[in-house]
Amino acid sequence: MRDLATVSAASEAFVPTMRELVRAYQAFDSYTERHIRQLGLTPPQFDVIATLGNTPGLSMGELAEKTLVTKGTLTGIIDRLEAKHLVRREVPEGNRRSFTVLLTPEGEAVFREVFPIHIAHLKKRFDHLQPDELENLRELLQKLRKAFD
């Protein structure tokens, strides 16, 4: 015998949309991860490098806000990127309690090489949508995100 509450929950109008959103994210994540790994980085490393690119550097707090990486994971990622000589920590003058993370010249070179390649890789898929569809999708996703804030 089926429970009325579970039958009712399963028939909510948003459930098919939620499933499609998850499937779309999983497909996107798989597609991007494979490509980023071919470029010699992990997705979180790419995220940090892409976020730091074209900036004079960011504090750890700013970096955590702008990336898809949790604060707890960020320190380890920065440590590994520092070991690869792609980023460095710099203590700002007059504020010894914090530091700025910035790309090294090697990191800048990686950013200039891999960022355009990855964006071109993604563009092949996003080109399946018309500009007005992209804008509509962006607005809807933004509205959905705000519903969870």
Are 101 and 59 in contact by the 8 Å Cβ rule? The answer is yes
Q: Give the length of the chain.
A: 149
Mapped onto helix, strand or coil, the DSSP state of residue 54 is coil
* 1 pLDDT above the threshold of 60: no
* 116 pLDDT above the threshold of 80: yes
Q: 29-71: per-residue pLDDT in tens?
A: 999 999 999 999 999 999 999 999 999 999 998 999 999 888 7
Element (H, E) at 45: helix 43-52
Instruction: Calculate mean pLDDT across residues 101-126.
Output: 97
Write down all domains in the chain, each with its CATH number in brackets: 40-117 (1.10.10.10)
